[in-house]
Amino acid sequence: MTKKYYKVAEHLFAVDANEEIFLQMENYNPFAVNGVDSISESDVAFSLSVECGACVEYIEETRQDDEGQIIICGHTAENQSTFEFILYGVSAGILLCSLDYKTATIYFAEEKFKGLNKFAINNAIMVLYALATAKFGTALFHAAVVTYRERGYLFLGKSGTGKSTHARLWLRYNEGSQLLNDDNPVVRFFENGSIAKVYGSPWSGKTPCYKNQEVLIGGFVLLEQAPYNKISRLRGVSAYAALLPSISGKRWDKVIADGLHYTENALASHVPVWYLECLPDEAAAKICCEAIT
């Protein structure tokens, strides 16, 4: 077993696994940390170990089903959080977390399903990252984000709303735009200076875009399909409500819920939030860009 360190949005974490697993983690390579001899365990947000074959019994609390990818959230008799990752009806693995989410183990499924290891390790790290960093002004967003004139703009909305499509329209029609992440960027709010940054991450959905970059946030845009193009500014509770569904987290855990509420409230108060009713066309990208930049 080998321990390797990674840093995403300035949060350091460790993964303890064999080389076969690390070969399946190529999307984490841009975030790898060198010079590990100087790292103290107190600097690590969380550590994940990889094991095979163990059976973890748990009580189901809730589940999320997204196009055949199911995450079942539960807890053990000792009240440790568990997450089972299922792909098209087959269990890929179960994540068992410590009470404070500082340490966790992912138990892979049977050897015959080892082709699902990449799916399991990727989801395990993403879930653990969201939980372990929630109290540090950090949120993992379900969004597409582009950079434009040294600012980052996040496109929010339900699955199928057109976040990726709108990002591609920006890349095509708003010169100077670049894709930072297409599915799960990380956002951090820093109370000292009241600034918000968006970071690339190892998790970018179906688009391989794993950039270890950061930029100040210029705004959030909540998208909704419509037979016309219209954009308006959201404020106060409306801005807060627009951000809420796009942020991952275990909200029935008080510590995590409090951390996310702080981050959401700070973002809604300090970063412009917009509502774009739009068609998937050039005019939508132009109107949006002109309004929010």
Query: pLDDT category, 110, cuts 50, 70, 90?
Result: low
pTM (two decimals) = 0.94
Least confident of 168-172, 178-182, 248-252: 248-252
- Domain(s) of CATH 3.40.50: residues in the chain: 138-292
Instruction: Calculate the alpha carbon distances from 139 to 2, 132, 207 in Å.
Output: 29, 10, 21
**Does residue 156 register a pLDDT over 70?**
yes
Q: Which of 15, 45, 43 is nearest to 29 (CA)?
A: 15
Question: Which two three-digit tokens encode residue 292?
Answer: 């929010």
Question: Contact 253/79 with Cβ under 8 angstroms?
Answer: no
* Residue 243 in this model has a pLDDT that exceeds 80: yes
Chain centroid to CA 34: 24
User: What CATH class has 138-292?
Assistant: alpha beta
pLDDT computed for residue 39 by the predictor:
80
Bridge partners, residue 69, by sequence: 66, 87
